[in-house]
Structures are given as C-alpha cells and as structure tokens.
C-alpha cells in the first residue's frame, strides 16, 4: 500500500464512522485500516503534516491521534525516520496488538555516585544480541542496598555462616508463594531445594535419578546446557521434533523404558514455542505410563505474558515432575541462585548430593538478602517492570528486524520472550552461519549459531537476545549485523 492509498482508505473509513468528535473519529478510522497493513510490515505512515494537508484537519489533532496510537503500541515513531506500524506475532498468525506503551525505556536506577558506570554497562561487543542476558541497568540497586542494611542490622553475623540445609526458610517460602500464584501450582516450601544454577540442578537429577545409559528424551532443537551435561554423564539421549504445540510426544511411543523427558514448555528454548495444555497433559500421561520423570525447565516463565499458563508441575497428579527455576533471567545472573521443586521424598537425597559436591547450600548471605527483598514486594515490582520492558524491546527488535534482517532470515511462530530464533531463508548458503560466527569473533562479538541446538533436521541462523539492549542499541546492533552478513555473503558468492 502506498501512502496515497492509505489516505484514500482513511477517507472512506471516515465517511463511514458515525462519531462526532473529530479526533476520536480519525483514531477509529486509522485503527480500522491497520489490519490491511498487517502483511506490509515496513509500511511508513504518512507524516502528520502530509495527512493534515490531504484531510484538511489540523496537524495538532493528528499529532494527538498519532501519540495515542503510539501509547497503545500500534505505532512506533522514530525521530528523523517517521512513523511505522507495530506488528506482533501470535502463535498462529500475524496480528496487530496493542500490548503496551512505547514510551522511552524505564529510567535507570543507578546507585548514587556512579554516573560513570552507565557508560561502562553497555559494551557493544559483550552485549551484542547476547542470548538470554537480562537488563541489569534497571535493577533497583538503592532498594537492594537499603534491604541489605536492614537485613544486616536485624540478623547480624549469622548470615555469613555456611548452611547445609535445603535452603533459607524464608526464601523457600517466597519461592513457593511466587510459583503457586503465577504458575498455578500447589507446592509447599518443604519441596523446594536451593541450588546454584540450573546446571547444578540438572547434574543432581543425573546423579540422584539416573544411571549411565538411561534413556532421556529431549526436544529437537534442545537446550544445550542439558544436552551437553547429560551426554557427559553417559546418558542415552533421544531428541524428538516439535510441532506448534511443543514436543511431539506421540513420536516417543517406540522409545523403550525412557527414564525422563526434559522439556522447556513455557518457552521452548531456542524456538520460543509455548507448549499447549493438552500436550502437557499428554506428556504427564506418557510419563505415568512409562514410569518416567518429567524435568520441566521453567527458566523464564515469569517474564512471559501475564495470562495464566499452568506449569506441568501444576497439572501433574502423579508427582512425576522435577521443576527447575532460576533467578538468572529475572534479577542479577551473578547471584547464582536457582531452585528445584521435587516430591518431598526426593528433597533429602537431592540435598545430600548437593552437599557432597558443593559442601553446602548456595551463599546464605545472598539467599537471605533475596528472600527479604522478595518479602518486601520489591522483587515482584521489578519483575513486572521487566515484563513490560522486554515486551517493548521485543517490538523494537521486530521493527528493526524487518528493516535490516528480513532479507536474509525468517522468524517463525514464537512467543515473545528475551531472545528470538532467526532462521536463514532457503536461498542463503548455510555456510554463512559458520563464516559469520568466525568473522564476528574476530571483532570480539559472540554470535549464537542456531544449528548447534539440533541433533537432526538442522536449521541454520542465529538466536538473537535483545533483552539487555535498549531501543537505540537494538538498532545499532541490527545495522552492524546486516553489514556483517552483507560482507560475508559477498565473500562467499
């Protein structure tokens, strides 16, 4: 559609809408024609000046309409470039969705006397589409310090001592409340075991639940953290393809005596597919029938949409689910705090093994600080800000993707999260992936290649993380990636 066709369509709509207030009428008319643009994602809307001249309406009125559409997330206005429509994908089709306001990013809350830190935070090479890296610049450091001061004065030196227990009591309670509320589960604190990382949780599963050569089912593409670790433990891995609902459990029927199914159902890593409830129930029945465990890695579920998406743990009546959660994506990755939720009888063996390999629970100090931070409500407030921010950044990413990357890559149906799998188009040579990773490496940039996550039916491309980048940084990185691709393509052809 051209801008003149847009104006013609708008004029027709205006004649049909029975609304007295001109501003509302124009607003409704534009919204009515937006669906016509949904397949033309790079469409640039007429400027308010051009529209004002053509419709004979004051520019001030049009500015207000555009501002409202931007507030509601339909428009993206970029200084010096123009106004673009925002398109979001849902799992079945392209839709136009007013999800959020596109105001500037939330203000950074840097600690006092650290003005110089801000420039240090963004390292274009380090952050370059870093996969799954959270934004840490918005972390409420002042509240954290305040909390630390209070905790130290109330609890004294005991928080510096080693702890061999399952974890800090308050932290286990806070985690229980959080996931019962947001993941529709009904667990109790005595099912929660605090560990250092998801990797450690997976290692404990390998030691406590499995023996070498046991068969473990994983998704294809898979989370490499689980794949590599399980492989190193001598487990017999069986990868199974996905469909739009997640792991194709019907394809597991001929796997004899599987010991566990490892899945990332809230947001399949790296494809971004969200598993449907029916499929979750089928996996639960499959596990019950085969006397297997389900390992549910719920690594970023609390950052995803607010609609209730019940965890497998919340649907499983047979207590076959080992649930893994991590604070790495939600707060500061360097805290190294994660947790397992297991049937009560398994807490003791898991705890014993954790203490064999680590000597104790993770840092009591950070556990107590985090527990108190959560209890005061700061954690959830921060999480809500991050949900909003990442959705905003997702929209920016999609916008720049269409400007810079869509010539080379495709995005498939996925759920918005912190990273997106970008698949090479058919005409792009697959050797480009390796060549690009190498040339980026020379520049000090780590690009995450997509093919490394497949055992078969391999797809090529990249997994691009956008959550640690603000609007300008996403644009900068995207332009740089396009240049890298163009240079490498020229060398390869």
State the DSSP string of 263-309.
E-TTS-TTT-PPPPHHHHHHHHHHHHHHT-EEEEE-TTGGGS-SS--
- Told to check if 299 binds ligand PLP by CB under 6 A, we report yes
> What distance in Å separates the CA atoms of residue 319 and residue 309, rounded to the nearest whole number?
19
CB nearer ligand PLP, residue 66 or residue 223: 223
Span interacting with ligand PLP, options 37-45, 113-121, 195-203, 245-253, rule CB under 6 A: 195-203
Residue 328 sits in the site that holds ligand PLP (CB under 6 A): yes
Q: DSSP for 141-204?
A: HHHHHHHHHHHHHHHGGGGGS---SSS-HHHHHHHHHHHHHHS-----GGGEEEES-HHHHHHH
Contact between 297 and ligand PLP by CB under 6 A: the answer reads: yes
Residue (of 450, 477, 329, 299) closest to 396 by Cα position: 477
Binding of ligand PLP by 258 (CB under 6 A): no
State the nearest-atom distance from the C-beta of 316 to ligand PLP, in Å: 19
CB of 93 to ligand PLP, least distance (A): 27
Our finding on whether 269 is near ligand PLP (CB under 6 A) is yes
Check residue 198 for interaction with ligand PLP (CB under 6 A): yes
Interface positions, 403-442, toward ligand PLP (CB under 6 A)? none
Q: Which of 264, 271, 292, 468 binds ligand PLP (CB under 6 A)?
A: 264
Tokens representing 88 are: 């979001």
User: What would the two tokens of residue 472 be?
Assistant: 């300008």
Size of the site for ligand PLP (CB under 6 A): 13
Q: Which stretch binds ligand PLP (CB under 6 A): 5-13, 57-65, 68-76, 196-204?
A: 196-204
Residue 363 sits in the site that holds ligand PLP (CB under 6 A): no
Cα 415 to the center of its chain, rounded Å: 8
Question: Do 81 and 47 contact (CB within 8 A), yes or no?
Answer: no
Query: Of 73, 132, 265, 461, which one interacts with ligand PLP (CB under 6 A)?
Result: 132
Residue with Cβ nearer ligand PLP (66 or 327): 327
d(CA 251, CA 247): 9
Angle at 340 between CA 338 and CA 342, to 5 degrees: 170
Interaction mask 205-224, ligand PLP, x per CB under 6 A = ------------------x-
Question: What residues make contact with ligand PLP under the rule CB under 6 A?
Answer: 132, 197-199, 223, 225, 264, 269, 297, 299, 326, 328, 338
């Amino acid at each position: 559609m051209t801008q003149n066709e847009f104006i013609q369509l708008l004029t027709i709509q205006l004649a049909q809408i029975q609304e007295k207030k001109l501003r509302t009428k124009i607003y409704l008319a534009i919204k009515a024609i937006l669906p016509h643009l949904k397949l033309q994602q790079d469409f640039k809307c007429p400027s308010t000046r051009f529209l004002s001249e053509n419709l004979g309406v004051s520019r001030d009125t049009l500015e207000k309409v555009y501002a409202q559409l931007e507030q509601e997330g339909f428009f993206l206005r970029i200084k010096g470039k123009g106004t673009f429509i925002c398109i979001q994908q849902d799992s079945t089709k392209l839709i136009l969705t007013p999800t959020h306001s596109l105001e500037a990013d939330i203000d950074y809350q840097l600690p006092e006397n650290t003005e110089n830190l801000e420039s240090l935070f963004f390292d274009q090479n380090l952050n370059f589409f870093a996969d799954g890296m959270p934004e840490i610049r918005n972390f409420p450091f002042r509240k954290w310090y305040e909390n630390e001061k209070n905790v130290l004065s109330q609890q004294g030196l005991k928080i510096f001592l080693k702890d061999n227990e399952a974890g800090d009591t308050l932290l286990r309670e806070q985690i229980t409340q959080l996931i019962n509320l947001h993941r529709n589960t009904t667990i109790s604190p005595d099912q929660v075991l605090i560990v250092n990382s998801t990797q450690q949780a997976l290692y404990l599963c390998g030691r406590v639940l499995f023996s070498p050569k046991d068969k473990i089912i994983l998704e294809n593409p898979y989370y490499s953290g689980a794949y590599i670790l399980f492989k190193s433990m001598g487990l017999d891995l069986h990868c199974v393809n996905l469909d739009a609902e997640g792991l194709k459990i019907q394809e597991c029927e001929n796997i004899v005596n599987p010991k566990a199914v490892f899945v990332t159902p809230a947001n399949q890593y790296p494809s971004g597919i969200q598993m449907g409830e029916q499929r979750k129930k089928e996996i639960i029945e499959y596990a019950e029938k085969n006397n297997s465990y389900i390992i549910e890695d719920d690594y970023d579920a609390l950052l995803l949409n607010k609609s209730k998406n019940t965890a497998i743990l919340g649907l499983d009546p047979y207590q076959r689910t080992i649930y893994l959660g991590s604070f790495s994506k939600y707060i500061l990755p360097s805290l190294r705090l994660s947790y397992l939720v297991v049937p009560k009888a398994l807490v003791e063996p898991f705890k014993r093994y954790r203490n064999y390999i680590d000597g104790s629970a993770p840092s009591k100090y950070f556990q107590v600080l985090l527990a108190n931070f959560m209890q005061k409500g700061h954690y959830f407030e921060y999480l809500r800000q991050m949900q909003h921010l990442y959705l905003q950044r997702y929209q920016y990413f999609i916008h720049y993707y269409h400007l810079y990357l869509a010539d080379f890559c495709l995005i498939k149906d996925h759920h918005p999260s912190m990273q997106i799998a970008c698949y090479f188009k058919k005409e792009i040579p697959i050797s480009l992936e390796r060549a690009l990773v190498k040339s980026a490496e020379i520049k000090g940039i780590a690009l995450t290649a997509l093919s490394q996550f497949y055992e078969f039916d391999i797809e090529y491309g990249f997994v691009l993380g956008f959550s640690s980048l603000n609007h300008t940084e996403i644009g900068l990185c995207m332009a740089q990636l396009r240049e890298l691709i163009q240079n490498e393509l020229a060398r390869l052809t």
